[in-house]
Amino acid sequence: MDEKISNLQRAKVLIEALPYIQKYNGKIVVVKYGGNAMISDESRRAVMGDIVLLSLIGVKVVLVHGGGPEINELLGKIGKQPEFKDGLRVTDEETSEVVQMVLAGKINKSLVALIGTLGGRAIGLSGMDAGMLEARRLSDCLGYVGEIASVNPQAIFDVLDKGYIPVISTVAADSTGHCYNVNADTAASRLAGTLHAESLISMTDTKGILRDPNNPDTLIPVVNVSEVASLIREGVISGGMIPKAECCCEAIRRGVKRVFIIDGRIPHSILIETLTDSGVGTMFHG
């Protein structure tokens, strides 16, 4: 423990978290975790710790994870060149299998096991379990990249109801049972909407939306979804942040109260965002 913080200070910190705990108690919070934010073991452990804590104090956390780098790593090992078109991975049969294996086999179960060592109880699901996500082909030239045709959240509710933390890989089957890779941000947004989540927290490796991308002091803390279009036009939201921001808007439109893009590199950024009076990124609201 941090020796410089007295136990009285510790107690005060806990008591000051009370209104935030009350606010989220019994509510569903979807956390999207993936990409570079997920690389280091230390970060994973910190994020899973935050999730176990939230779960224990009565928040119904649903973890949706992605997996970029590890997919490329395995593709590399089997001698396959990743190929992207408009930022989306061209996914042939073999790549589709690799994605499924890395996401649902390696990352998902490792996160589940990590939660277990931290005293939490998690069950790993994919979009294929109990027909949670049905995919359909997004575009012929992308292969097995799917868009979400329908969402059935029953398995998530059932798993939450039994007291587990659902950890979800965003691979999904089409009506013939073939596996598709589904974008994790899109899936998290759709699920958060269907689950009527109190909030969606999207962990990235950026500080949030910066008015001047080179100046971290220009963070825009709060964005109304009505402003997003003009922020894109102005170039403030650009590149890979555009689809992320659109997912945030989509979640708000589907009924999520608040959506946060936060900096996953900051330790315990979920707890800071959720249980203290300060934010660590950009909040979208309707």
Positions in 10-39 near a copy of itself (CB under 8 A): 10-19, 21-22, 25
> Considering the complex, what minimum distance in angstroms separates the CB of residue 81 from a copy of itself?
14
Residue 158 interacts with a copy of itself (CB under 8 A): yes or no: yes
DSSP of 168-194:
EE-EEE-TTS-EEEE-HHHHHHHHHHH
Q: Any bridge partners for residue 165, and if so which?
A: 122
130 binds a copy of itself (CB under 8 A): yes
| x/- track of binding to a copy of itself for residues 53-92 (CB under 8 A) | x--xxx---------------x--xxx-------------
Residue 117 CB burial class (10 angstroms; 0-12, 13-18, ≥19):
exposed
What are the residues facing 173 on neighbouring strands?
134, 179
Judged by beta carbon, residue 74 or residue 242, the one nearer a copy of itself is 74
Contacts of a copy of itself in 159-188 (CB under 8 A): 161-162, 164, 171, 173, 175-179
Alpha-carbon Rg for the chain in angstroms: 19
Nearer to a copy of itself, 86 or 277 (CB): 277
Asked if 148 touches a copy of itself (CB under 8 A), the answer is no
User: How many whole angstroms separate alpha carbon 3 and alpha carbon 282?
Assistant: 32
* Region from 157-165, 203-211, 215-223, 233-241 binding a copy of itself, contact rule CB under 8 A: 157-165
Among left, alpha and beta (phi > 0; psi -120 to 50; other), residue 240 is alpha
